[in-house]
Structure 1
Amino acid sequence: MTMTTKRRLITDSFKVMKKTRRVQREKRPPTPPQKEEENNTVTQQDEELRQLKQFDLEWKYGPCTGISRLQRWERAQLHGLNPPQEIRELLMRTNNDPQFTSR
């Protein structure tokens, strides 16, 4: 007695999908260089933001979650941690810009 059983393949259980072709995207031309005047203003703002981010990373001034940068500076001053005065001046000068006041 020989039993003949039909051999099951994995493709019997799953739908066969055709591969789709990937569309080649066109390469974008390089962006033109900015004018020198624009670079100077952006550079100053970038430098100020870099200073604030450095202040955010300083653990000696306490945790920075849940409060604004100015509140954190004032709390550090209250506890005698001597945060940089330049940071407070920068925060006071840019207090209406949310990019500067919070992380």
Structure 2
Amino acid sequence: MTAKRGLITDTFKVVKKVKRGDRKNKKPPSPPVADAEPPKLSEREIDLQELRNFDLDWQFGPCTGISRLQRWERAALHGLNPPQVIKDILLKESTDPEYTHSLWSDYPL
């Protein structure tokens, strides 16, 4: 006696395809809302972002192993014209290590 073979649909669920006419009736997804404003940054966050940008700008030389103020002064000494805003920020918050240390200070040399 031979074993009775079942149909493939007994094992796998039947999935019906969408007809071409039904595709046209679908609405395209709505675009994301562009009017939403990004959250406002505090003065501290803006200052730290400026300092990070200064760290990432290789125009003023390497920043590992020295403070941001030392780097700024070295760049000024060599005539590289670093932004005065950076020095103002650094002098305003001269005791906070988040301001004085460069972005790469957490990594060993």
Structure 1 segment 36-75 matched on structure 2, within 5 A: 43-75=42-74
Gapped regions of structure 2 (runs ≥ 5): 1-38, 103-109
Counterpart mapping for 1:24-103 below 5 A:
43-103=42-102
Q: Separation in 2 of the partners of 1:64 and 1:97?
A: 18
Give the gaps of 5 or more residues in structure 1. 1-38
Which structure 2 residues correspond to residues 9-28 of structure 1 after superposition, within 5 A?
A: none
Aligned AA for 2:70? Q
Shift in Å at residue 43 of structure 1?
1.3
Say what the alpha-carbon RMSD is for the aligned residues: 1.5
For 1:53 and 1:84, how far apart are their aligned partners in 2? 13
Instruction: Give the distance between the partners of 1:60 and 1:46, measured in 2 at CA.
Output: 23
Task: Write the distance in 2 (CA, Å) between the matches of 1:83 and 1:64.
Answer: 13
Aligned-partner SS, 1:73: helix
The structure whose RCO (Cα within 8 Å, separation 6+) is larger is 2
Q: How many residues align?
A: 64
User: What TM-score do you get using the length of structure 2 for normalisation?
Assistant: 0.56
SS of the equivalent of 1:65 reads coil
Q: CA deviation at 1:49?
A: 0.2
- Report the alpha carbon displacement of residue 73 of structure 1 after superposing the two structures with TM: 0.1
TM-score, length basis structure 1: 0.59
